[in-house]
Structure 1
Amino acid sequence: MQDRDHSHICSTPDAPVPYSLPHEQSSAPPLELMDGATEDEGEDSGDYGNKGLPPPADQLPEGEHSDSIPPQTEWSILAISDHVAREALVQYIANKCCYRIAPAKHMVVQKLTPLNTFRYCLQSFIETRETFPISEPYNGGFVDSSDVAPAPAPWAIVVDVPPLFMDCKMHIPVPHTNSVQDCPNCQGHGKNQCHLCSGSGQRICTACNGTGWQDSSICLFCSGSGKRRCSACHGGGWQNCIRCSGKGLLLYHSELTITWKNSVAEYVVDKNFGFPIYHLQEVTGKEIFSDENQVVYPIVNFPEPTIDRGSESCIAQHQMQFASNSRILRQKQTIELIPLTKVEYEWRGKVYSFYVFGNENKVYTEDYPAKCCCSVM
């Protein structure tokens, strides 16, 4: 099982999405719909710096779950043809500088074995809320503090939710959290001792290295003193505090950061046919099942039993990962049937093999007969 994050550009938000907890389980389509597939195919108010705030109990998912599965009529993927296998290998070899193309063009295909497999994918669109202290120089004026009104709890602030299953982040100042405090960098003085001259207002003359002399003559740059006025503080020994812009006061407020993230967990059925299944991350398959709701429940009674266990594991993983400090707004689970064919062929009296996989007809091979030793698989 793998866990991945998919990032997208955040666009104009949609209306807030309600969410609820199902009480029924998702089920797979009936077994008879699989008739065409072979066995092998198959974030409290006013506080600063609170990260990962847990949502209130009344905002956790609860309610009904709709189990609506569109009918599927054809789930089988036949083995590819000799021509498709040859073209896939030729294309693969063409992108390998140290491979000779002759075997790919002139091989004798002996056997095509369909080893199609299944991939389960769970997408959880989650929302996380955190608060951070933000400050700026205080130039006077109204202070929207808690004396004006109580500050709202972080999860009580209503915002529009961005498009589903797209990563996005929003920063919102929390009302009634303002306060005025002395700047900690200058202790409210508005000035700091110049760090270049240590408050003396003078620095060693670089022309004479502080000696006051240049080539047996008095240094013209420092008039023989060996020191020059500090250019950073103009000889005053102090500089305006950068953080408060010399005001000595800072206006603090709490900023709410809302993060929406689409988290993805996958499970691929490994039938131990000698093909490294991690390569399937590179390709797409034929979607044969889709279930989207506020939350989803594990698949049951799928013709490939390990998919049931894989979906249960992925859903449990997301529940443990996000339940304490986030809320799940929407979930979607899909199952893909991924084409995978083992091709056995003869070249110069020896038998070799390669795999063609995915809708993209990508190739994996370990024993291609015409490659030099410098090649890297």
Structure 2
Amino acid sequence: VDRSPAGDCLPSAGVADLSFEADSPPAPPAELLDRLPSYDWLLQGGGRQIFFPPLEAPGRPLDQRCWSSFMDLSRVPTVTEEVAREALLSFVSSKCCYGSAAAGDLVIQELKQQTLCRYRLETFSESRISEWTFQPFTNQSVDGPQRGTSPRLWDIRVQVPPMFHEDTRKFQVPHSSVVKECHKCHGRGRYKCSGCHGAGMVRCSSCSGAKRKAKQSRRCQMCSGSGRRRCSTCSGRGNKTCATCKGEKKLLHFIQLVIMWYNSLFEFVSEHRLNCPGELLAKAKGESLFKDENTMVYPIVDFPLREISLASQRGIAEHSAALASRARVLQQVSGVGAGARWETSGAGPLVP
């Protein structure tokens, strides 16, 4: 018999001697896994490892550019009074409580233009992480070390998504699979229910097992006078199917390759004296003066605005430092755009 915490003796006939469910790690202890020649480090470093990419060959040599042809700011569109008023009315209409009368009658007295340049660098990189994982073993084919040596993670060829499209994919490393007894249920496929201690019945919560409610002569209707009710945790079975192996008793362990493609962004807007939030300037559209796309782009040299040249050097250095030890750069694109920021001043009509 099993004895409940309150002292009730509950029958346990026909219930297998199963261990209670307990917290367990997502992966079994290292000693349960066979040591694979190329991946011993996984068993020593917590079951997860980031692989550093191989060094890439230097990019193309730097080309000298003549910036006079790029700095033709006549391509930047001008703003007329009609365009300014239309933009103001469009802004007013986007606000539910703004009236359009003042914007329509406003007398525009002056339009001030200030030209801005923006440098933008986008780096598309790939990083790879390997980790032990498992799934229920259902007698599927096992691709284990006996079939060959597992390739190094950066030697595994996969289909790269379109450039600058972020994505995450998972792959099973070839020849890394091994079948082991489930570490959660110790190969039983089930575990004893912790709610009823394997009995399938629990003390009635209505009468607290007394079969009758306090100060009442009739029997408890919730348990029909038995003092016990069917365990709701296991539906009266006394045990539950192991959630780890799904009742299969064994697990297929293998090394999983996780590949992440990520975009890193650096932006810089030239110095200005505009009372405008930075996020709005970042969304502004302008004329593209220059664009460079390659496996590795170079800093801009001798740009007419020195701060743009310095920003390009800083952006490339920041991306190189951040990605050098954890990712491989697949493609970079940099560019400089120019646009005009217009400030409008005006006055409302005089009211007699």
Q: TM-score, normalised on structure 2?
A: 0.77
Q: For the residues of structure 2 that align with 1:73 and 1:113, how far apart are their CA atoms?
A: 20
Aligned twin of 1:56:
54
Give 1:61 shift: 4.3
Aligned twin of 1:181:
180
Give 1:159 shift: 1.1
Tell me if structure 1 keeps the 8 A contact 2:128–2:260: yes
Secondary structure of the 2:60 match is coil
Tell me if structure 2 keeps the 8 A contact 1:125–1:329: yes
Letter in 1 for 2:301: V
> What does the per-residue CA deviation read over 1:126-176, in whole Å, with 9 as the maximum and x for residues that have no partner?
111112322112234543222321111111101121111111222111111
The alignment status of 1:106 with 2:115, answered yes or no, reads: no
Letter in 1 for 2:105: H
Aligned twin of 1:158:
157
Structure 1's 236 and 287: CA in aligned 2 closer, same or farther, altered over 3 A? same
Secondary structure of the 1:341 match is strand
> What does the per-residue CA deviation read over 1:247-287, in whole Å, with 9 as the maximum and x for residues that have no partner?
33211111111111222111111222444443212322111
Q: For the residues of structure 1 that align with 2:64 and 2:180, how far apart are their CA atoms?
A: 57
Letter in 1 for 2:190: K
Aligned twin of 2:240:
239
Give 1:348 shift: 5.4
Give 1:67 shift: 4.4
> What does the per-residue CA deviation read over 1:282-310, in whole Å, with 9 as the maximum and x for residues that have no partner?
32211111011111011111111110011
Tell me if structure 2 keeps the 8 A contact 1:179–1:252: yes
Which 5+ residue runs of structure 1 have no aligned equivalent? 1-43, 350-377
Tell me if structure 2 keeps the 8 A contact 1:165–1:262: yes
Q: For the residues of structure 1 that align with 2:219 and 2:84, how far apart are their CA atoms?
A: 88
Tell me if structure 2 keeps the 8 A contact 1:69–1:290: no
What percentage of aligned pairs have identical amino acids?
34
Tell me if structure 2 keeps the 8 A contact 1:126–1:262: yes
Tell me if structure 1 keeps the 8 A contact 2:177–2:252: yes
Tell me if structure 2 keeps the 8 A contact 1:167–1:260: yes
Structure 1's 143 and 274: CA in aligned 2 closer, same or farther, altered over 3 A? closer
Aligned twin of 2:144:
145
* 1:49-128 superposed matches below 5 A: 49-57=47-55, 60-65=56-61, 67=63, 72=70, 74-76=72-74, 77=76, 79-128=78-127
Give 1:65 shift: 4.4
Aligned twin of 2:301:
300
Aligned twin of 1:259:
260
Give 1:192 shift: 1.1
Structure 1's 68 and 294: CA in aligned 2 closer, same or farther, altered over 3 A? farther
* 1:210-229 superposed matches below 5 A: 210-213=209-212, 215-219=216-220, 222=223, 224-229=225-230
Structure 1's 196 and 185: CA in aligned 2 closer, same or farther, altered over 3 A? same
Aligned twin of 1:353:
none
Tell me if structure 2 keeps the 8 A contact 1:118–1:268: yes
Letter in 1 for 2:143: D
Tell me if structure 2 keeps the 8 A contact 1:193–1:237: yes
Q: For the residues of structure 2 that align with 1:236 and 1:342, how far apart are their CA atoms?
A: 76
Tell me if structure 1 keeps the 8 A contact 2:196–2:231: yes
Secondary structure of the 1:228 match is strand
* 1:344-359 superposed matches below 5 A: 344-347=345-348
Tell me if structure 1 keeps the 8 A contact 2:200–2:234: yes
Tell me if structure 2 keeps the 8 A contact 1:66–1:293: no
Aligned twin of 2:3:
none
Tell me if structure 1 keeps the 8 A contact 2:59–2:295: no
Higher mean C-alpha displacement, 273-282 vs 302-311: 273-282
Tell me if structure 1 keeps the 8 A contact 2:186–2:249: yes
Aligned twin of 1:131:
130
Letter in 1 for 2:297: V
Letter in 1 for 2:138: N
Aligned twin of 2:198:
199
Structure 1's 63 and 117: CA in aligned 2 closer, same or farther, altered over 3 A? closer
Q: For the residues of structure 2 that align with 1:273 and 1:218, how far apart are their CA atoms?
A: 82
Aligned twin of 2:290:
289
Structure 1's 307 and 208: CA in aligned 2 closer, same or farther, altered over 3 A? same
Give 1:104 shift: 2.2
Q: For the residues of structure 2 that align with 1:69 and 1:194, how far apart are their CA atoms?
A: 75
Q: RMSD in angstroms over aligned alpha carbons?
A: 2.7
Q: Bigger radius of gyration, 1 or 2?
A: 2
Q: For the residues of structure 1 that align with 2:345 and 2:237, how far apart are their CA atoms?
A: 85
Q: TM-score, normalised on structure 1?
A: 0.72
Secondary structure of the 2:50 match is coil
Q: For the residues of structure 2 that align with 1:123 and 1:54, how far apart are their CA atoms?
A: 21
Q: For the residues of structure 1 that align with 2:112 and 2:235, how far apart are their CA atoms?
A: 83
Which 5+ residue runs of structure 2 have no aligned equivalent? 1-37
Secondary structure of the 2:51 match is coil
